[in-house]
Structure 1
Amino acid sequence: MRDESEVREQYEFLQDQLADEEMRHEGVRQLFTHYKRALGWVLEEEHL
């Protein structure tokens, strides 16, 4: 399994990508939103 810092770095990268004005295409936004949720769940489970 990846260490927490690597997962957190990817999560923050995805948040930045979602905030970018050029990522407004709905399909791309949905894809990144799913990845963001999945990474968030991984981070939450690591701390339970």
Structure 2
Amino acid sequence: MRSEEEVREQYEFLKEELASEEMRHRGVEELFTHYKRALGWVLEEEHM
């Protein structure tokens, strides 16, 4: 299992990547959006 810090780093990285101009391709954007959402769920569940 990854540490909370590792998950948070990945989450922040993905947020920045999704905001960049290079990630405007629809398929890539959708893939990263799903991955970002999954990481967010992991973070929320660990803090409940």
Give me the TM-score of the superposition, normalised by structure 2: 0.97
Unmatched 5+ residue regions in structure 2? none
How many residue pairs match? The answer is 48
Task: For residue 16 of structure 1, report the CA deviation from its aligned partner.
Answer: 0.5
Name the % identity.
79
What is aligned with 2:46? 46
Q: CA deviation at 1:45?
A: 0.3
Q: Which runs of 4+ in 1 moved over 6 A?
A: none
Deviations 1:1-48 (A, max 9, x none): 111000000000000000001110000000000000000000000000
CA RMSD of aligned residues (A): 0.4
